[in-house]
Amino acid sequence: MKRLSIIAIAASVLFANCTKDPSENLNKDPKAASSATAAGLFLDGELSFVNSYNTTSVAVAPFRVVSQEWVENTYTYESNYNFSAYNAPGGFWQNLYVNTIQNLDQAKLNFPVGWPGTAGQLRNCIDICDLLEIYSYYMLVGTYGNIPYTQAEQTSIPFPKYDDAATIYADLLTRVDTCIAGLDITQGAMGSADQIYQGSTPAWLKFAASLKLKMAMLNAAHDPSTTATKVNEAIATGVFGSNADNALFTYDPASPTNSNPIWNALFYSGRHDFGPSQFLVDTMLSWSDPRLPFYFTESGDTAYIGAPPGDPSDAYGSYSDFCCIVGNQLLYSASLPGDILDYSEIEFYKAEAAAQLMITGGATAAALYYDSAITASITSWGGSAGSAAAYLLEPQVNYTTALAAANNNWQTVIGYQEWIANFNKNWDSWTAIRRLGQPNINVVSPPQSPASLFPLRFYYPPNETTSNPTNTAAAVAALPGGQDVVTAKLFWEP
């Protein structure tokens, strides 16, 4: 089934769900933009966002290899922090600005035209569009620094100015609050045009609160007061409470173009560009991690073996492969849902907040959230609660004993476990390392031929520096040192 067919079906379901009597719309101008058109734009924007988050393409989002969840075989540019070969900074920018934000923004404009449902349903549709747009801008500002924002969606301004990153971030948090206040859980939304929650506004409200908590934690190192306020507000609104709340996009396994992009890259393409990271495999082995058989195969059916980062001699077949567990192919499944935010991630953020006394409970609460996060990660991959409980007794894993061994450095204890849980979280696997400084890749596992120290940002896309030079130059001048380099710290980085 082609994507257009999916959009058409979803849009028709939306039309039926949001209209008391379809015959009421027979006299509407067929040439006018309709809510069905808006639904198609929304679905296309939603799909583009989820694909941007989940893709393995090193021309878009090479964050799994940067954070050493994965390594590259043969072509090791990105593993060595060389992003010019396939222009990942340009690809990521294009995917979010053009393929995602542009579609979502146009959907917000189109939904009111000829809207067949209630005012509450219309507001829900627009707020849900805005949540994914906010998420996109959050990732952009967290990747580059200053970016086009206030003028980004004005077609009359071909060369938009770059707004201050911290100011954008604060406005995004305000926009999330507006969405939370606007979502009406007694009313529906876009129905099957939404392949994450099928238009369920109670689910989207939990998502909004969870996204707020996630966004707040980004700047915890520099503004703990605001972070604490926003985190407690988010928890009071109601964040994810189990894996059942996870934001998972439903892919279509019958269509290669609409299947999970990981399956496309690892199986359908016939290529073998990636392998497990030696650092990750060895860490999990030393801690008897029960996720090993869900993440990897045993090389030669005898042992888990990872490849060193940035080594062009890494050969497929010499190391373990991805996915495993006969009958549960996981990463090799065309229907593997696209995960953009989940319960395990939220529990880790709460553990971080408790460790910093931003929420009540201190170390005791931090340990409980930490245990819950790890258990949620293990069970989401197919492991048992019993195996999670046994894992949490390991001295290197148990929060109390691990914290003592780390000289009370909670960032090390929580950071390593977030890193393991982020095995397939792409942008967040990179961002968690940038937020917490753990694992310290520069020290514990530097790649073979790094072009720089561990990247803290993407440089601006070459197309931007040539087509919008004045505004890009101003953005570069605002960076520490005034150089457009990957090692320049962004406003939120410790």
Q: Which pLDDT tens digit goes with each residue over 399-419?
A: 999 999 999 999 999 999 999
Tokens at 407, concatenated: 């000289």
Q: Which pLDDT tens digit goes with each residue over 334-348?
A: 888 999 999 999 999
Instruction: Please indicate, yes or no, whether residues 46 and 181 belong to a single structural domain of this protein.
Output: yes
pLDDT confidence tier of residue 34, bands split at 50, 70 and 90: very low
State which of 275, 305, 332 marks the end of a domain.
Answer: 332
The parent domain of residue 294 ranges over: 256-332
Domain membership flag for residue 239: yes
Q: Report pLDDT for 269.
A: 85
Domain membership flag for residue 90: yes
Instruction: Please indicate, yes or no, whether residues 283 and 200 belong to a single structural domain of this protein.
Output: no
pLDDT confidence tier of residue 328, bands split at 50, 70 and 90: low
Q: Report pLDDT for 316.
A: 73
Domain membership flag for residue 381: no
Instruction: Please indicate, yes or no, whether residues 277 and 225 belong to a single structural domain of this protein.
Output: no
Domain membership flag for residue 386: no
Contacts of residue 168, defined as CB under 8 A and 6 or more positions apart, other chains included, come to: 137, 141, 146, 147, 149
Instruction: Please indicate, yes or no, whether residues 320 and 469 belong to a single structural domain of this protein.
Output: no
For the segment 2-23, the average pLDDT, to the nearest whole number, is 33
For the segment 40-52, the average pLDDT, to the nearest whole number, is 97
Instruction: Please indicate, yes or no, whether residues 135 and 44 belong to a single structural domain of this protein.
Output: yes
State which of 299, 332, 365 marks the end of a domain.
Answer: 332
Q: Which CATH number characterizes residue 221's domain? A: 1.25.40.390
Instruction: Please indicate, yes or no, whether residues 191 and 260 belong to a single structural domain of this protein.
Output: no
In this predicted structure, the answer to whether residue 184 has a pLDDT above a threshold of 90 is yes
Paired residues of 276 in beta bridges: 70
The Cα–Cα gap between 147 and 138 comes to: 11
Instruction: Please indicate, yes or no, whether residues 276 and 299 belong to a single structural domain of this protein.
Output: yes
Q: What is the 8-class DSSP label of residue 161? A: P
State the Rg of the chain over Cα: 22
Cα-Cα-Cα-Cα dihedral of 45, 46, 48, 54, to 10°?
A: 160
Q: Which pLDDT tens digit goes with each residue over 288-316?
A: 999 999 999 888 767 999 999 998 876 77
Domain membership flag for residue 352: no
Spatial contact of 38 and 116, defined as CB atoms under 8 Å apart:
no
Domain membership flag for residue 492: yes
State which of 292, 308, 332 marks the end of a domain.
Answer: 332
| pTM of the entire predicted model | 0.92
Spatial contact of 251 and 335, defined as CB atoms under 8 Å apart:
yes
Q: Report pLDDT for 99.
A: 95
In this predicted structure, the answer to whether residue 21 has a pLDDT above a threshold of 60 is no
Instruction: Please indicate, yes or no, whether residues 217 and 286 belong to a single structural domain of this protein.
Output: no
The total domain count for the chain is: 2
Instruction: Please indicate, yes or no, whether residues 244 and 266 belong to a single structural domain of this protein.
Output: no
Instruction: Please indicate, yes or no, whether residues 265 and 283 belong to a single structural domain of this protein.
Output: yes
Q: Report pLDDT for 24.
A: 29
Please name the residue ranges forming H helices in 395-454.
399-405, 410-421, 427-436, 441-444
Instruction: Please indicate, yes or no, whether residues 206 and 285 belong to a single structural domain of this protein.
Output: no
Residue carrying structure tokens 């090390």: 412
Instruction: Please indicate, yes or no, whether residues 16 and 153 belong to a single structural domain of this protein.
Output: yes
CA atoms within 13 A on the CB side of 74: 7
Domain membership flag for residue 221: yes
Domain membership flag for residue 276: yes
For the segment 350-359, the average pLDDT, to the nearest whole number, is 98
